[in-house]
Structure 1
Amino acid sequence: MAASLASIPFSRNGLSLQFSPTKRHCFTVPEFHSPMRVCCSASRDGHELKENLSQLKQLKNVACGILAVWAVTAASPVIAAGQRLPPLSTDPSRCERAFVGNTIGQANGVYDKAIDLRFCDYTNEKSNLKGKSLAAALMSEAKFDGADMSEVVMSKAYAAGASFKGTDFSNAVLDRVNFEKANLQGALFKNTVLSGSTFNEAKLDGAVFEDTIIGYIDLQKLCRNTSLNEEGRATLGCR
């Protein structure tokens, strides 16, 4: 039995993978933006079939499995791009979870329980947020104006649309945080890690960047924000 890869056609609206059409094992991947079908087939040869049936059956199954997994992986960016946030937590003490932080928070955003801080108000909070781990926290539309968030760890946090006016982020780790359309006017980023964080349409006028740790590509993206004042641009080294 011989297996051959006849074609791998790609189209704008979908992806089709198939082997030669003698006998096919098909996998349908549901719930994607574009329909996807993975088909594996094999042509038969009597002599080779008798000699290698068991071995090639295993090989065929492995190959088909790999193709199916590859198809799902290839489609995953489409899912990520269209994903929605989970419903707002109904926990009455969800805002207080910020004061406890994440007990197993790590740089990759692992957490023991989701920290949902959306719409919470921490205006001028000066003691309870400092040094907390808020890995993968949901922070959109929350208020942190004037808060002391120095030494906080916010890896993979979602803070789109949140307000951080005058917030102190000194010595904080803001790794891969989404600050899209957030208000960061007058925020203090002193010796702050900003690796992989995005500031699309964020308000940055008056923000202070001093000894900020940021990658070159991330810096170029940050410098494209037109709300940065001249002092901020000079400190960051924007050209």
Structure 2
Amino acid sequence: MHLLTQNPISQQAFKGVALASFLMRIVIILVLACLWVLLAATPANAQSKTINYTSTQLEKRDFSNTDLEGGVFVAAEMREANFQGANLKSAILTNGNLLSANLAGADLTWALADRVTFYKANLTNTIFVEATLTRSILDEADVTGADFTDALLDRYTVTKLCKTASGVNPVTGVATRESLGCP
């Protein structure tokens, strides 16, 4: 310290370095604070937009032409519900019951619909692109014009669907039989 007090140039340089260091710390603190606020706010916004109907009674409810993207319908009772034209992209329908439901023209791209009952459901022109439908029941469902491109289905289910599959999806332009890989 004795050298700094005797040399005014060294003292000014020391003050300049100290000021620069102080300003740099302030900038870093502000940047970190902004990042913390942004990261803390993002999950809250995502969660507030998520629709969650887990284990809910939704029988005969009308969700036609509704944006339900990313919605959660795990173990939901949706008998005879109307999802006609609904956006169900990336929705989770695991263990759901859609017995006799209307999903005509609905978009279930990337949906997780494993172990779902689609028995006697109207799946006309429904889009199941890259959806997971393993262990789901599609018996007596109308799949005319449905697009199953790159969907994950059990072989047994595909074989059964190929017996009645027909039509072309009006949105994607893909034939139902082609999307199922029917012979």
Normalized against structure 2, the TM-score is what? 0.65
How many equivalent residue pairs? 128
Which of 93, 97, 104 is the equivalent residue of 1:158? 97
* Structure 1 unmatched runs, 5+: 1-97, 103-113
**Structure 2 Cα separation of the partners of residues 173 and 222 of structure 1:** 19
Of structures 1 and 2, the one with the larger relative CO (CA 8 A, separation 6+) is 2
Residue of structure 1 equivalent to 2:167: 229
Matched position secondary structure for 2:148: strand
Name the CA distance, whole Å, in 2 between partners of 1:144 and 1:185: 12
Q: How far off is 1:195 after superposition?
A: 0.4
Equivalent of 1:123, from 51, 64, 67? 64
Give the aligned partner of residue 148 of structure 1.
87
Structure 1 residue aligned with 2:131: 192
In the aligned structure 2, how far is the partner of 1:187 from the partner of 1:167? 5
CA contact under 8 A between 1:206 and 1:232: conserved in structure 2?
yes
CA distance in 2, matches of 1:192, 1:100: 19
Partners in 2 of 1:208 and 1:166 — Cα distance?
10
SS of 2:57 mapped into structure 1 = coil
Match of 2:111 in 1: 172
Q: Does 1:209 align with 2:148?
A: yes
Aligned-partner SS, 1:190: coil
Residue equivalent to 1:40 = none
C-alpha distance in 2, partners of 1:141/1:133?
18
Q: Which has the larger radius of gyration?
A: 2
Paired letter, 1:177 = V
Q: CA deviation at 1:130?
A: 1.3
Which AA in structure 2 matches 1:101? Y
Checking the alignment, whether the CA contact within 8 Å between 1:198 and 1:222 is kept in structure 2 is no
SS in 2 for 1:193: coil
- SS of the aligned residue for 1:187 comes to coil
Q: State the Cα distance separating 1:186 from its structure 2 match.
A: 0.7
1:194-236 CA-partner distances (Å, limit 9, x unpaired): 1011111111111112111123223223223x14337211221
1:134 corresponds to which letter in structure 2? F
TM-score of the superposition, structure 1-length normalised?
Answer: 0.50
In the alignment, is residue 99 of structure 1 matched against residue 51 of structure 2? Answer: yes
Higher strand share: 1
- Give the residue type in structure 1 aligned to 2:176: G
Asked if the contact 1:159–1:178 (Cα under 8 Å) also holds between the matched residues in 2, the reply is: yes
Higher helix share: 2
Deviations 1:37-60 (A, max 9, x none): xxxxxxxxxxxxxxxxxxxxxxxx
Q: Is the 8 A contact 1:144 1:165 kept in 2?
A: yes
State the secondary structure of the residue aligned to 1:209. Answer: coil
Partner Cα separation in structure 2 for residue 99 and residue 235 of structure 1: 29
Give, in whole Å, the separation in 2 of the partners of 1:236 and 1:118.
Answer: 29
| Unaligned runs of at least 5 residues, structure 2 | 1-49, 169-174
Letter in 2 for 1:228: S
8 A contact 1:170–1:191 mirrored in 2: yes
